[in-house]
């Protein structure tokens, strides 16, 4: 069973397989983010509370939302050769006070290696988006892995991680 991480002071829980550390223990992290770093690889997992980018929780709106946030990550990374491998965008509707189903995406981006001008890594990025319309929030989970051993297994693990996310305290978004 994957260890459960309490995020944002326990307002959100997330089961995440592996040895992950809270990055805020050794570097500054923005208040709207939780950053977890693998202790034995270059994998990072980031959960962000962001302003909702558009209206709608139907599958086309959720497809657009997860692609928007993936493209935003690519922009932040100054990525080249951005590619989407798959998207799973179910309806994001849920009864008030319950965690909706996320929209999921996997893709690759070519990103310059840290400190290198010409060398690029192909980074695999998984993104999940939960739209919380009553709070005007997009909750965005991303996993960045520059060297996945088994992309299919990692995709299944990301699906399990995203499926485990629970919003425990909705006052986080007040």
Residue range 137-155, pLDDT digits in tens: 999 999 999 888 899 999 9
Q: Give the model's pLDDT for residue 49.
A: 98
Quote the domain boundaries for residue 131: 4-173
Please give the tally of structural domains in the chain. Answer: 1
Q: Give the model's pLDDT for residue 172.
A: 96
Q: Give the model's pLDDT for residue 115.
A: 61
Task: Please state, in angstroms and as integers, the Cα–Cα distance from residue 113 to each residue in 75, 107, 110, 117, following that order.
Answer: 15, 18, 9, 8
155-173 average pLDDT score: 97
Question: The CATH number of the domain where 16 resides is what?
Answer: 3.40.1000.10
Q: Is the separation of the CB atoms in 36 and 69 below 8 Å?
A: no
Any idea what the Cα angle at residue 140 is, between residues 128 and 21, rounded to 5°? 95
3-14 average pLDDT score: 96
Residue range 20-55, pLDDT digits in tens: 999 999 999 999 999 999 998 889 999 999 999 999
Q: Give the model's pLDDT for residue 116.
A: 67
Residue range 81-126, pLDDT digits in tens: 999 999 999 988 888 889 999 999 999 999 986 666 677 889 999 9
């Amino acid at each position: 069973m994957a260890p459960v991480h309490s995020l944002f002071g326990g307002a959100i829980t997330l089961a995440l397989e592996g040895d992950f550390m809270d990055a805020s223990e050794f570097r500054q992290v923005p208040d709207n983010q939780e950053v977890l770093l693998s202790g034995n690889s270059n994998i990072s997992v980031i959960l962000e509370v962001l302003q909702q980018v558009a209206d709608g929780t139907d599958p086309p709106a959720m497809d657009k939302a997860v692609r928007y946030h993936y493209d935003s990550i690519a922009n932040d990374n100054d990525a080249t050769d951005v590619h989407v491998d798959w998207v799973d965008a179910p309806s994001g509707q849920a009864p008030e006070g319950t965690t909706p189903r996320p929209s999921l995406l996997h893709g690759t981006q070519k990103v310059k290696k840290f400190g290198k001008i010409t060398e690029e890594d192909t980074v695999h990025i998984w993104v999940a988006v939960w739209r919380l319309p009553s709070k005007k929030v997009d909750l965005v989970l991303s996993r960045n892995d520059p060297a996945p051993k088994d992309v299919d297994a990692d995709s299944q693990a990301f699906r399990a991680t995203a499926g485990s996310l629970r919003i425990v305290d909705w006052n986080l978004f007040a």
